[in-house]
Structure 1
């Protein structure tokens, strides 16, 4: 027996319903991905590097929310940060061997009581830095600082070079390894929008084309 109003039900009603569900899912997916892309674009990530006069090198990244960042970002000590979301450091020997790496700031929280950071967002100038790799948990870690002189004596921040030290936890000693006159900062390119949500839009377009073809048939 035919259902009531059977004449109003398309012969391909099941296919139409399935297509509409898939179309709805694709729209939701594309919307979510676009929202994610927008949130990513609000973030800013920068790479930094330095080379000491003795051949040691250091490199790392830091990130913050560009939408809320002040002209000069200032952070210090451990605990929740004001603006920084992440800050890492890796140190390499003169022969380019990795010596240690760690993150003093992760998820907007600093694990270092010695953290010092001052950065001009417009000038891309890392003015002050006291950062270390101690989060690695290794007995020997490394820190770079222009808060202490080569003898590891505190000075007025910024009045000395960026000095690199090795630090041995078990003996509570630090050894000066070299100095860098400056730290170079470069922006990390963001993913192209079409790279991020292009596949979702392609899927959406494919479903729309399939629905038109089905309706025409």
Structure 2
């Protein structure tokens, strides 16, 4: 009888532990964002992170393992209908961009500070600058300095 009681108690304890772990599963939050330049260019994208482990604000920078972001994708368009390019800057918590910068406030749901998202090599497009100050869409030429294709006051709209 003691052996049966011990096995039953162990089984119940194991089931309780599993149930407690299941009560707090990872909650991936996904947000969409958009930017509209003054000259007809725009950017739309989305990003995700685990809301259970994310701090009130997080800063991501450079390539490699991210601290919080799980994904970030951005597309650039001209006149809202002509797709220029799409980039997956973060995939499964790994940033692919050397110049990548992204900051988010999980409380106010705002992208803030310096950002640099998009492509990095010749022929690619990226969005760079300071949110709510000045953001510019750049195009990387085959040679010479990067060219500003469009800009605005830095407003980025975020929606869940």
TM-score bucket (shorter structure)? 0.7 to 0.9
* More helix, by proportion: 1
Deviation at 1:95, TM superposition (A): 5.5
* More strand, by proportion: 2
Map residues 31-42 of structure 1 onto 2, 5 A cutoff: 39=25, 42=27
Cα distance in structure 2, aligned partners of 1:126 and 1:118: 6
Deviation at 1:180, TM superposition (A): 2.8
Q: Which residue of 1 aligns with 2:138?
A: 165
Deviation at 1:143, TM superposition (A): 0.6
- 2:38 pairs with 1:53: yes
Deviation at 1:164, TM superposition (A): 0.8
> Contact 1:103–1:133 (CA<8 Å) still a contact in 2?
no
Structure with greater Cα Rg: 1
The number of residue pairs the alignment matches comes to 138
RMSD: 2.3
Q: Which residue of 1 aligns with 2:73?
A: 88
Give the TM-score of the pair, scaled to structure 2.
Answer: 0.77
> Contact 1:89–1:133 (CA<8 Å) still a contact in 2?
no
Q: Which residue, 124, 127, 130 being the options, matches 2:112?
A: 127
Cα distance in structure 1, aligned partners of 2:59 and 2:132: 17
Cα distance in structure 2, aligned partners of 1:95 and 1:83: 30
Structure 2 residue runs of 5 or longer lacking an equivalent are 1-21
Give the TM-score of the pair, scaled to structure 1.
Answer: 0.58
- Which secondary structure does the structure 2 equivalent of 1:114 belong to? coil
